[in-house]
Amino acid sequence: MIVVTGGAGFIGSAIVWRLNELGREDIIIVDVFDETEKWKNLIPLRFADVFDKDDFGHMLSSDFLKRFEVDTMFHMGACSATTEKNFDFLLRNNYEYSKYLCEKSLDSNVRFIYASSAATYGDGSQGYSDDESLLETLRPLNGYGYSKHMFDLWAKRSRILDRIAGLKYFNVYGPNEYHKGDMRSVVNKCYDQIKETGKARLFKSDREGIEDGGQRRDFIYVKDAVEMTLHFMNNKLASGIYNIGTGEAHSFRELVAPVFGALGLKENIEYFEMPEVLKSKYQYFTEADISKLRDTGFTQQATPIKDAVSDYVKNYLDTGYPYLSSTEIQKTIQ
């Protein structure tokens, strides 16, 4: 069996989708089903069972993992809002719960693969290397990033990084992020803006030498992120912390321009002032160093940004059924 926490969420449900494509249905999904509509991500997927996060936590106290012969746990569940200010909430959900799941997994000899985040790198002044010897030098800019950083540091202090895999996801975008509200990707938000007003809106730059829309991030399509993630299930010798990105930064304008192209429209971007509350916490540049990932034997190339955005728009956002689903279902709606 495979456990996917956050299995109804963005990356988690995409992992389940890809496992289904590979013929796997022996999957247990764990999540918190609040007032969002992320449950819709599950409709076209195939899995064995679904459990509430807290209920699952209690179940682990009774040798659940051994009884159900769980082989791998993908721990993708977390509060991922970079604007969350309740650090007690972040501490319980992103740190304490992660420690508990990790310890239970190791006790049962279960492969533990967890989501860290590029938000742990802060303003990038210390670079974007996933060298574990540099962990203590990082300074996250928000509570979310710090809660993820805390777990990375705990794993290092506990001397278990040689037994688990932590994945620092950079800017992931793609199908199944619809429930994320303001945390949706810029592609998703700009698609809605273009459909409603004919134009997309991006932040102005307040840094000398960087033009409006010229802020650059390592944007990675969720399908590529999932391929990298599953690599760590298949390659159990790869352990430690790894960046999950393309290794190449692109500007927000480069990210949004293909949305217009996919819709057959002329580019029309409006730039507006960045809110003051974000200015001190905003990453102007991120670019994953993925040499360590390559060293584990992962050779697949990331989808070019224009092709990835076009796939997202044409085959998901602009269809009547925008969720990741089996190849057969997807063909019927195109």
- By annotation, the residues acting in catalysis are 144, 180
DSSP readout, 234-261?
H-TT--EEEEES-S--EEHHHHHHHHHH
Backbone angles phi, psi at 316, to 5 degrees: -135, -70
CA distance 333 to 191: 19
Nearest to 223 by CA among 11, 46, 23: 11
Q: How many helices (H) and strands (E) does the chain have?
A: 13, 13
The DSSP string of 60-123 is GGGTHHHHTT--EEEE--S---TT---HHHHIIIIIIHHHHHHHHHHHTT-EEEEEEEGGGGTT
Q: Is 43 helix (H, G, I), strand (E, B) or coil?
A: coil
**Separation CA 121–CA 152 (nearest Å):** 12
Collapse the DSSP code of 24 into the 3-class scheme (helix H, G, I; strand E, B; otherwise coil) and give the result.
coil
What would the two tokens of residue 163 be?
A: 């037994």
Q: Is 204 helix (H, G, I), strand (E, B) or coil?
A: coil
CA 219 – CA 211 distance, rounded (Å): 18
